[in-house]
Structure 1
Amino acid sequence: MADTNRFHPAVIVNSIKNFIPITLEMENSKYGAWSELFKIHCRAFNVIDHIIPPTTTETESSTTTQTTPPTGSTNTTPPPTESWSRLDDIVLRRIYSTILGDLIHTILAPDSTALQAWN
């Protein structure tokens, strides 16, 4: 029987503050620590490809199950699907919830993706 009723690991996280206790600010230079904790969190919850797209080599050698397979070209995001978009919104919301207001206003844009906010 297929695992169609399983939740993606990223969906079960209640509070990102438990995993990333640093709040990124414009005036404070904690970016290195914040970004490393954020990448660790994304790898642990299998959503790292939302902020660091896989390269063609990584895609071909990957043996992990992904929500949506990458397009195959280097550094591009997979075509949006409902589950991909939902996970991307979860990652985007986590980025927004770990940075302060002044910084949010510099990256907040309509219909942006987690990758756009990360970059």
Structure 2
Amino acid sequence: MPNNATSKSSFHPALAVNSIRNHITVILGMDNDQYSLWVALFTNHAKSNRVLHHIIKSKGAARKPPSTDDDDKELWETLDATVLQWINSTVSNDLLETIVKTDTTAMATWDRLADIFQDNKNSRAVTLEQEFSHIDMIDFPSGLLSTPQIVG
């Protein structure tokens, strides 16, 4: 029997991840501002486990599982479910309730998260600017408002 390193029976590294929380320590929540950090950790982990194409579409890549070979399709679906579990395991319960859908893919969930955290950047900036403009300077010690002295 020939020894083929690319045999369909070879084990994929993503399936060996026992606990995603050991690799992605940030729990993404609606009330925290760690989306960029979470994305960086998650994409690095996905890249190192050769499943980045399940969350980020590369040029010429399909969003759907391969339709020709049943073994390839089954592996694709298994890996996609694994990546989806990783996403679900690294978000807060409140956020999980917002993004979970039946019969979805890891990429669709990834895109839903991007929509939640990136589409509202402008409105969040406006809100923060309004909050900042309503801060009373009376709340700060007078030393912060005085002109700095140059010591020479």
Q: TM-score range by the shorter chain?
A: 0.7 to 0.9
> Number of paired residues?
102
Contact 1:9 1:45 survives alignment (8 Å)? yes
**Correspondence for 1:106 among 71, 79, 98:** 98
User: Which digits, 9 at most, give the CA deviation of each residue in 1:7-36, with x for residues without a partner?
Assistant: 101000111111100000110111000011
**What is the distance in 2 between the residues matched to 1:20 and 1:107?**
19
Q: Which residue of 1 aligns with 2:86?
A: 94
Q: Equivalent residue for 2:66?
A: 79
Q: Whose helix fraction is larger, Structure 1's or Structure 2's?
A: 2
Which AA in structure 1 matches 2:88? Y
SS in 2 for 1:93: helix
RMSD of the alignment, in Å? 1.4
Answer yes or no: is 1:47 the counterpart of 2:51: yes
The letter of the residue matching 2:106 is: A
Structure 1 gap segments, 5+ residues each: 57-69
Question: Computing the radius of gyration over CA atoms, which structure comes out larger, 1 or 2?
Answer: 2
TM-score scaled by structure 1? Answer: 0.80
Conserved 8 A contact 2:51-2:79: yes
User: Does the residue aligned with 1:104 lie in a helix, a strand or coil?
Assistant: helix
Q: Partner amino acid for 1:102?
A: D
Partner of 1:116: 108
Between the aligned partners of 2:16 and 2:95, the Cα distance in structure 1 is 27
Higher relative contact order (CA 8 A, sep 6+): 1
Letter of the aligned partner of 2:38 in structure 1?
W
TM-score w.r.t. the length of structure 2 is 0.63
In the alignment, the residues of structure 1 paired with residue 77 and residue 65 of structure 2 have an alpha-carbon distance, to the nearest angstrom, of: 10
Q: 1:50·1:77 contact (CA, 8 Å) conserved in 2?
A: no
Q: Say which of 7, 20, 31 aligns to 1:27.
A: 31
Gaps of 5+ in 2: 68-72, 112-152
